[in-house]
Amino acid sequence: MSIEPATFFRGIVAPSLGHKAVIDLRGVRWVQPYGLVALAVFAENQMRLRREIEVLAPRIATVSRYMDRMGFGDVIQAMGGTHNLLPSPRYDHGNDLLELQKFASEEAADALAALVYEKLVGSDADLASAMYQSIIELGQNVSQHSGRPSGFAAVASTHGGSRIAFAIGDSGKGMLASLESFNFTDDEDALESVMLGGISSTGDAGRGQGLRTARELLTGRGGVLVAQSGVALRFETRTGGHPIRHPTAHVQGTILQGLVDC
């Protein structure tokens, strides 16, 4: 099993064992930045409910070590949780990845974008610029819509280094609640409107273009932008938006992932 937007809630998390939230990853065969960020968002929500967090590591040793190398265990421990991930040595990964980390402001998101830019500019300056701007726009989205002071982010190269995947998420109130003054009917309506641009919880002129800008940057290079909030899940590609509804899969907050070939 891979932790992806359409499969995240299929037996991976079990939030209701008394005062304990068990994140059971034993059947996971692969995880991408979306999965790392989605799990961190879920864990933070459980922590706010005063539940103890326990992570059961993937049975596949390489996947367990990868999740540790990507910093997932450190994030869980920072929340007071426990895990049995196999330890992996930490070293400079070059352009391969950026560990799962928490960022606490738009300025921190800008610094994260700059770090990704530095990792990519030597091999593909155009891609580096597109990724830089996309991460800034999505990081600003966290501060504008979440109602939370911080979010999570991770970046990795996949498919033998031919694709870059990055994810940003928060455990906030989600798109629909943050835009309640617009009287949207449901999560899908709110998410689609934000993707089209011009909608912002601040109400300030000129704001609300972040997701649209990121979408145009990524899909313009043949990439994909995935957005998930509440029960709404939307894939944005060069051919347009593709909404998918998962009535039982409620994301408390918002998760965004970009995928683009190098």
In tens, the pLDDT along 73-128 reads 999 999 999 999 999 886 655 555 678 888 776 677 777 788 778 877 877 888 78
* Tens-place pLDDT, residues 130-165: 778 777 877 776 666 666 767 898 888 776 767 788
Whether 14 and 41 have beta carbons less than 8 Å apart is answered as: no
pTM confidence score = 0.85
* pLDDT score at 217: 80
How far does CA 66 lie from the centroid of its chain? 17
CATH number at residue 44: 3.30.565.10
Q: How many domains does the chain have?
A: 1
Region 248-256: mean pLDDT is: 79
What range does the domain containing 251 cover? 2-261
What is the rounded distance in angstroms from the CA atom of residue 219 to the CA atom of residue 78?
35
- Chain mean pLDDT for the chain: 80
Give the bridge partners for 52, in sequence order.
Answer: 20
Region 31-54: mean pLDDT is: 90
Question: Per residue in 2-38, is it b (16+ CB within 10 Å) or e — as a string?
Answer: ebbbeebeeebbeeeeeeebbbebeebeebbbbbbbb
